[in-house]
A and B are shown apart, each in its own frame.
Chain A
Amino acid sequence: MSKQPLLRVENLVKYHPIKGGLFARTVHDVKAVDGISFDIFPGETVGLVGESGCGKTTVGRTILNLTPPTSGKVYFEGKDIFALDKGKMRKLRQDMQIVFQDPYGSLNPRMTVGDMLTEVLLVHKIVARNQAKRRSIELLDVVGLSDYHIDRYPHEFSGGQRQRLGVARALALRPKFIVCDEPVSALDVSIQSQVLNLLEDLQDEFGLTYLFIAHDLSVVKHISDRIAVMYLGKIVEMTSKRALYETPLHPYTQALLSAVPIANPELKREQIILEGEVPSPIKPPSGCRFHTRCAYVKPMCRELVPEWREVRPAHHVACHLVS
């Protein structure tokens, strides 16, 4: 792709300080995101996968400037978003939206659907007051809900419907880019496919660009064009979905893929089962962060941080052993 990226992330770092002691000084840092770089091009879906605590949600929040970074840059359409003042950032938020994991916790229980949607529209001055209701009904229609839902409260909806409401709210501002943070993890299987299909339809219809954050590799594979795999605050591998699933190069990616249970009892395969657990992000291991669990570990892995390299066209890996 030779196009300009819609979003460019450069060496993004986010540490959460842990305060302690008499003067509440910072005693440790949780190194949630520790120097990651990637581009997202217009119209594509980039999947971000990793296990709990790897920092994927922090990435989503930081690139939307919902939480300030420790260092690094994020460019949206060429603009450095951390350099914008409050007013300009608010304007930019129209273009960058988020859908949260928890469809129960992310909707105000005391607001009707109509109030919720018109508030968004009016705050950002998208439509005039007398047009707001009509536009809200249009939005409900776009996400597959009906006009009579407009006077209902969130508790009157099922999980899948609530997730549709979350999508409608994100779409209200006609964004270009949406971060989907585990949007289907809380849903039942039969509802999950409805929401995934909806997200794909909306992408086609409105030319949306997604960063799709999830822990479920099957879901990420289904929806993404390119995929980044995170481990302990770092991206360890990023490439097209096809290359990632057919020729994963990083030992962690290989293990992660082979750990996914496959709904085919007749499929015989060798599983790589990782021993141990993800180390603490407060004191990540030296060198390659994966070396404590890697089956192919060499002495250099314990000392040197592997470089982020393009080992094949459009296939980036951070591993000493991949040539």
Chain B
Amino acid sequence: MAERVLDVRNLKTSFHTAYGLIPAVDGVSFHVDKGETLGVVGESGCGKSVTALSVMRLVPEPPGVIEQGEILFEGKNLLSFSEHQMRRIRGNEIAMIFQEPLTSLNPVYTIGDQIAEAIMLHQGLSQAKAIGRSIEMLRLVGIPLPERRVRAYPFELSGGMRQRVMIAMGLSCNPSVLIADEPTTALDVTIQAQILRLMRQLKQEMGMAILLITHDLGVVAEMAQRVVVMYAGKIVEEAPVAFLFRRPWHPYTAGLLASIPQLDVERKRLHVIKGTVPNLADMPEGCRFNPRCPYADDQCRAYEPELQERDGRKVRCWHPLSQDEEGTSK
């Protein structure tokens, strides 16, 4: 069996708001194996970023609070760690890259200083050696003239270059897990293709696990081995990537796949998931997707389904689409 690097169990992260304590992530469990890319997809507000921040213990407390659950990293529960212990994990064992590389970099330090800081802190190298290692990392992520760029400030670099710097920083201490939160959303497609290729190569070379958070189903299809679909703070479906795209079980996943325009398929009209994502403070009774689901019945409106496991997949639905006859779509 593959080695589990990260195992999140029943995570619940809530926020104190004017409407009381509202769960943004509500009982989420998943795991990532060594050398695997797990994709987490969902629309804005479904809790995917809060999940990532919870794993890093970066949810601002208050207003946030991790109410329950376990985050096992190599068997140790990160939620029982002190802030001091956590600092040794962050950036060293588990690294994170964010969507907006400009706001995640410090504008008044050179990129070399910023990469070297983490290396000096975690690996105990001298400054000269750390800068040398920074140059190596910049070369690894494909930045031209790294000896020169190491002295550049973030504003001197383009968006794609900044994201490469973020990746270089994230990987500088050889983490076992890389959390990438919408790493290419702010980038153009040709630059996105470069960054995704880079992430695939580096994963192969360094054997780390990647938790890839994105709303782009195309990116997931190209990068992930397994996919978790989130909706309104809960996992609604989990499956190996090929199965999920070939035959989604949850009506939400099926709706999402049918509503994106695709380059390789000609669609007369796009499918529409009616309505919008529910407000976290005002969740519908029963299944959270029921007001938008074309197959919802009384059972769905009254009782919330559990995440059920079958054939190596999981789905949270009273009437999963898998029960259909082959070839007919419900």
**Footprint of B on A, CB under 8 Å?**
51-52, 158, 160, 188-194, 196-197, 200, 215, 217-219, 221-223, 245, 255-267, 271, 273-275, 277-278
Indicate if the CB atoms of B271 and A265 lie closer than 8 Å. Answer: no
Indicate if the CB atoms of B259 and A189 lie closer than 8 Å. Answer: yes
Interface mask (B161-204 → A, CB under 8 Å = 1, otherwise 0): 10000000000000000000000000011111110110000000
Indicate if the CB atoms of B190 and A255 lie closer than 8 Å. Answer: yes
Pick the contact of B218: A51, A190, A262, A278 (CB < 8 A): A262
**Complex interface: chain B residues within 8 A of A190 (CB):** 43, 255-256, 259, 272-273, 276-277
Indicate if the CB atoms of A259 and B192 lie closer than 8 Å. Answer: yes
Kindly state whether residue B85 has any CB partner on chain A within 8 Å. no
Q: Taking A188-B44, A261-B221 as contacts, is the C-beta distance between A51 and B188 under 8 angstroms?
A: yes
- Report the Cα distance A265→B220, complex, angstroms: 8
Indicate if the CB atoms of B270 and A222 lie closer than 8 Å. Answer: yes
Q: Taking A197-B269, A264-B245 as contacts, is the C-beta distance between A219 and B43 under 8 angstroms?
A: no
- Report the Cα distance A267→B242, complex, angstroms: 10
Whole-angstrom distance from the CB of A160 to the nearest CB of chain B? 7
- Report the Cα distance A133→B217, complex, angstroms: 42
- Report the Cα distance A52→B161, complex, angstroms: 15
Chain-A contact segment, one of B3-11, B133-141, B260-268, B314-322: B260-268
- Report the Cα distance A266→B247, complex, angstroms: 12
The listed residue with most B CB atoms (<10 A of its CB), out of A52, A215, A219, is A52
Whole-angstrom distance from the CB of B8 to the nearest CB of chain A? 23
Indicate if the CB atoms of A196 and B218 lie closer than 8 Å. Answer: no
- Report the Cα distance A196→B216, complex, angstroms: 17
28 contacts between A and B (CB under 8 A): A51-B191, A52-B188, A188-B44, A189-B217, A190-B276, A190-B277, A193-B273, A194-B272, A196-B270, A197-B269, A218-B262, A222-B270, A257-B263, A260-B189, A260-B263, A261-B196, A263-B217, A263-B221, A263-B245, A263-B262, A264-B221, A264-B245, A266-B246, A273-B194, A273-B197, A274-B194, A275-B194, A278-B188
**Complex interface: chain A residues within 8 A of B245 (CB):** 263-266
**Complex interface: chain B residues within 8 A of A51 (CB):** 188-191
**Complex interface: chain B residues within 8 A of A221 (CB):** 261, 263
Whole-angstrom distance from the CB of A205 to the nearest CB of chain B? 15
User: What is the interface residue range for chain B against chain A?
Assistant: 35 or more
**Complex interface: chain B residues within 8 A of A256 (CB):** 189-190
Quick one: which of B207-229 are within 8 Å of A by CB? 215-222
List the B residue with the shortest CB-CB distance to A261. Answer: B218
Pick the contact of A188: B43, B158, B267 (CB < 8 A): B43
**Complex interface: chain B residues within 8 A of A265 (CB):** 221-222, 241-242, 245
Indicate if the CB atoms of B194 and A261 lie closer than 8 Å. Answer: no
Kindly state whether residue B112 has any CB partner on chain A within 8 Å. no
